[in-house]
Amino acid sequence: MDVDYDVVIVGAGIAGLSAALYTARQKLKTLVISKDLGGQLNMTTLIENYPAIHKISGPELAKRVEQQARAFGAEVIFDEVNSIEKVGDIFVVKTWGGDEYKALAVILAFGKTPKELGVPGETKFKNRGVSYCTICDAPFFKGQDVALVSWGDLAREPATILSSIANKFYWIFPSEKPIHDDEFIEQIKRLGKAVFIPNSEVVEIRGDTKVRSIIIKNKKTGEIQEIPVAAIFIEAGYVTRSDFVKHLVDLNERGEIIADWEGKTKTPGVFAAGDIVAYPYKQAVISAAMGVAAALSATAYIMKLKGKTVYSLVDWRAEKK
C-alpha cells in the first residue's frame, strides 16, 4: 500500500508544530491536521516564560512555529481527525471533512480542552480577564482582586499561586468545602488573601473591554450578588477527546495518553506529545520539547521501516566506564 505522507501529526498546538518542524527538517513528508492553529496557545494573551522570547502572544508563537515548519516543507490543513487505523505498517487517517491520508507514522498532539462554565460573558472575555491557566496568567493581575472557580485537588495550585500574587481572591466552589483537606484550607486562610464563597456558582461574567465583575448565585438560598474583579481563573479540569485512539494507545483515568520520554506509545509508529500526554507539567516550552522528542523518535522509526541506516539523531547518553 502506497502512502501519502511519511508522518501525519494530529494537532497544531506548540507540540504538534514543533514536531512538524523537526520531521520536515529531516526530509520527511509531513502533514499536520488540526481544527485550528495554536490550540491552547490561543487562550494565552501574553507569554513571558518561553526561552529566548521576552514577550509574545500565544497565537503569534504558534504562527511563527507554523511558518518555520512550512518553510521546511510541512503541510498544514484545517480539519478534524475522527479515526486512525493501522493496516499492516500503514496508518489510515480519516477526517470529519471526508478526507483520507495514509502514513508510515502518526504523532498525536491534539491536546486537551479546558472545561468551561458555559455562562454569559465567558467567551467574550477570554484572554481579557477569563483564564483557564492560573500559573500562566496570574502574574498579569498581581496586586489585584480576582476570582477563582475551582475545587478538589485541582484547586491546590491555583489557590496557592493566588495567595502569593493577588490582593484578594474570591474562591467560589459548589460545596461546603473547596477541598477535603482541612490543613490546606487553614494554610490558605492564614495567608489572608482568600475569601471563601461556598455552595455557589458563577452565572455571568461582566465587563467592557475586559472583565470588571462576576455575578454569583448561592445554590442553597438563591441569593445573587455581583463582585468586582479584574480576572476570573477557571480551573475545573479538562475535556479529553482521546476515545478515537484508545485502540492504539493506553489511556489513564483522565483520558491522557501513556507515552515514554521518547514519545513512544504501545503501538509501534504511534507517538504522542504535549498536553494530551500523561505528564503533570502543562507548559508551552515542555510541550514543544515533547513534540521534538516524538518527531525524532518517529524519524528513527520511519528510517528503519524504509530500511535506511538510522544515522545519529544525536544520542547524548554517556556510556558507563
Per-residue pLDDT tens, the chain, 321 aa: give them: 689 999 999 999 999 999 999 999 999 999 999 988 998 887 777 889 999 999 998 889 999 999 999 999 999 999 989 999 999 999 999 999 999 999 999 999 999 888 899 999 999 998 899 999 898 889 999 999 999 999 998 899 999 999 999 999 999 999 999 999 999 999 999 999 999 999 999 999 999 999 999 999 999 999 999 999 999 999 998 888 899 999 999 999 989 999 999 999 999 999 999 999 999 898 999 999 999 999 999 999 999 999 987 765 655 555 554
- Looking at residue 52, its amino acid is A
Cell of 43: 487562550
Pick the closest to residue 268 from 304, 293, 242 (CA basis).
304
> Which residues, listed in sequence order, are joined to residue 94 by a DSSP beta bridge?
83, 100
Q: How many residues does the chain have?
A: 321
Q: How far apart are CA 283 and CA 133, in angstroms?
A: 10
- Nine-digit cell string for 85: 487505523
Q: What is the pTM of this model?
A: 0.74
Neighbours of 58 (CB within 10 A): 23
Here the cell at position 211 is: 472583565
Burial 206-230 (b: 16+ CB within 10 A, else e): bbeeebbbbbbbeeeeeeeeebebb
Question: Hey, CA dihedral for 190, 191, 192, 198, is it positive or negative?
Answer: negative
Structural domains for the chain: 5-112+240-306 (3.50.50.60), 122-235 (3.50.50.60)
Cell (9 digits) for 41: 496557545
